[in-house]
Amino acid sequence: MSAIGSCRHALQLAAFCLALLPTLAHADDLAPIRVHLEQREERIDYAAVKMTVDSLTDPATDHLSVNRQISHWERMVRANVSGDADEWNTFAALIKTLYEPGPWNDNKPFTYDLDDPMGANPANKRLSTYLETRKGNCVSMPMFVLILGQRLGLPVTLAKAPKHFLVKFGDARQNAWVNFEATAGGFKTDSSYERETGMTEIAVANQLYLRPLRPRENVVAIASTLAEDYYRRRDGDALMALADLVLAENPRNHKAMLWKGTAYAFQIDERIKKPYPNISDIPIHLVAEYQRLGRSNNEWFEKAEQLGWKEQTPEQEAQYLRAIEREKAKRAAR
């Protein structure tokens, strides 16, 4: 019987945004998420999904105010469309409106928040904060492009990279998806993401990353920030429920596999380790349960690893933070 405390823990969320949310979320939060998942795909409203999730982490979220602001930015984009209002011109207008200084944004474009590169402030992932400050991260920025793109009738969806969300735009001219990096306001190739984020070859082959998400997968991607609160509270049951919800939409979602493995570790802590800190004190009738939970903990991590997931190294995180400091220095020198 393995020693107590040897279970594996991991929380893989969006790119370098490891925030801790307030203690307001509960396992039954998933009921309103399921309402969105039960909609026909063409009826799913990403703004409504984001407002549902943001309200679970901040009940004071003002839906009417946020929706008014989304409508405002939709009007600004439409006013910036030059020539034929085809999909490409409209998407170009969206990029210009959000990322280029001009009268359309009072010369205050949306930018990446270099003061919170690890997403330590949970409020920074909420859409209301992003719209107010115009400083965002790898959650708020791509999700706003997704929301605004949907309002504009554009072929946009989310995609994942290690600890990161990006936007895919369906370019009819090329008959292909192109990657839009919402944190920077520009386009990137698949090979750039593969090189810069340390994707394994097997992960790429198994389409863990860079695959355009289906509408219901976008819903659970938006809801994934709930996992942070469950993780902080070490709520294994809630984290398990969220993992199962995600896996129902995509059984190969490695992030949900990691949540599920971590949920088993939390259950061991709560059901076994907390009442019986010493392994020799575990009652005989709980030994089989302890072993089952331990096996499940390892199995789910192994499933993610078999698909090509690889945990970020301290060196990779340090490299990212150095890049942030260089960008901050560049901005200060302008």
- For residue range 161-205, what is the model confidence (pLDDT) as tens digits? 998 999 999 999 999 999 999 999 999 999 999 998 889 999 999
Contact between residue 194 and residue 207 where contact means Cβ atoms under 8 Å apart: no
d(CA 84, CA 185): 22
Evaluate the CA torsion angle 98, 99, 103, 107 in order and state its sign.
positive
Domain ranges of the chain: 27-333
Q: Give the residue from 239, 246, 292 showing the smallest Cα distance to 266.
A: 239
Q: Is the pLDDT of residue 14 over 70?
A: no
Torsion, Cα 82 87 92 94, to 10 degrees, reads 100
Give the angle 35-66-162 at the CA atoms, nearest 5°: 65
- For residue range 93-112, what is the model confidence (pLDDT) as tens digits? 999 999 999 999 999 999 99
With cut-offs at 50, 70 and 90, classify the pLDDT of residue 327. low
Q: Give the residue from 15, 64, 6 showing the smallest Cα distance to 209.
A: 15
Q: Give the residue from 192, 281, 320, 233 showing the smallest Cα distance to 26.
A: 233
**In the prediction, which pLDDT does 116 show?**
84
Contact between residue 235 and residue 187 where contact means Cβ atoms under 8 Å apart: no
Beta bridge partners of 161: 164
Residue 9 sits at φ, ψ, to 5 deg, of -130, 140
The structure's pTM equals: 0.88
Contact between residue 57 and residue 25 where contact means Cβ atoms under 8 Å apart: yes
- For residue range 19-72, what is the model confidence (pLDDT) as tens digits? 323 334 444 779 999 999 999 999 999 999 999 999 988 999 999 999 999 999
> H/E/C letters for each residue in 73-100?
HHHHHHHHCCCCCCHHHHHHHHHHHHHC
